[in-house]
Each structure stands twice: as structure tokens, then as C-alpha cells.
Amino acid sequence: MTVEVLDDGRKRVSAPLSDDDVRQLVCGDVVLVDGIIYAARDAAHKKMVEMLDAGQELPFDPVGAMLYYVGPTPEKPGNVIGAAGPTTASRMDKYTPRMLEVGIKGIVGKGGRGPSVREELKKHTAVYMAALGGGGALAALKIKAQKVIAFEELGPEAIREILLEDFPVWCVNDCTGGDFYSETIKPWRKNELLPEELWLT
């Protein structure tokens, strides 16, 4: 089992994730990611799709794996990595269906995902989680090791294998179609609550 429910209600996950693992993650959950995750951004995703189109294998086993949309800054001497905050996830929307088809089960980025990606998450029993935007220095503290495993010529956008220790994220889109961002704004939409009710919530 790769999902552990902690005493405080948070859930700790580590890849590889199975369908049953993913089903335990519900939008709104606070999740701690532990273990190996793969860093890849726009340029790396483009190359990975090209590899798949050419019938080639990816530089890591995608089955049950987790991706982190990050392009870290160069590390300073003595540090494992530089700032490692998430990049905007919607930039990977056009590549995500293909990644899910080959077995990716968890994705970490920043911001929301489009309707088509949410449907693909349902179709392939996968989950999207968001890390703290603007928290690159804090994120780096949860990274215990990292190495480039492919496309070194891309610099910060190379694919990296990253070892995380209880990296905090929030489940935004679960495999049932749940969307945490749309649910959280409902009470604040115009005319849904009267001014008096706002003060009482």
C-alpha cells in the first residue's frame, strides 16, 4: 500500500501508485509526497511525446509514476537543489493525455486543469495535486536528492529523478471528476449568500 492516512488526516503517498491508491485521494486532501518523483516541464514533455510517437521507451518507467512540473534553479554549493517551486500546470494540458495513457498516476503542478484533462484523469484513474506557488525555496527543503536522467541539454527543463521527503501538496482533481478549486469558490459567488450570511459563515 502506498497511501498512508496520518493521525491528523493528511495522507502520505509514494510512487508507484495503483488505481486503488489513487481512489483514496479525494479533492481537498492535504497530501505528503514521499519518495521518487520525476521533474518535467514543457520542453521535456514535448520530447517525451515525440519519443512515444517514434515507438521509443521513456527514460523512466511511467507505470504508477508521479510527475512534478518544475524547472529548478541551479543549486548553490552545498545544496541539493535550487528553488524548486511548481510551474503552471495548464501549459502541460496538451501533453497530459499521452502521459496518462502510458501509466502516469500522479501529477503535481500549480493552478487548475482544463475540463479535458479532468476527464482524462477520470478515464485513466489518475490524480492532479497542486504545490505551493511561489514557495520554491521552501519546496527545495523537502528535496533530499536529485539527478538529471534525460535531456541534459534542456538545462533546468531536463528530466530529473527527485527524492522527496514529505513534500506538501493539495489534491485538486481526483479520479472521480472532483475539482477542489471550483468547490471552494462556490460560497463566494455572487448572490449565493446574502451579506448577513457571509458574516455567519
Range from 6-10, 137-141, 178-182 that averages highest in pLDDT = 6-10
pTM above 0.75, yes or no: yes
CB atoms within 10 A of CB 9: 8
- Tell me how many domains the chain contains: 1
Quote the CA–CA distance of 92 and 115 in Å, as a whole number: 13
Residues labelled catalytic? 45
Q: Per residue in 118-161, pLDDT tens? A: 999 999 999 999 998 777 777 888 899 999 999 999 999 999 99
Give the structural domain span for 182: 3-200
Q: Per residue in 54-84, pLDDT tens? A: 999 999 999 999 999 998 888 888 889 888 8
CATH number at residue 74: 3.20.130.10
Q: Are strands 127-130 and 106-109 parallel, antiparallel or unpaired?
A: parallel
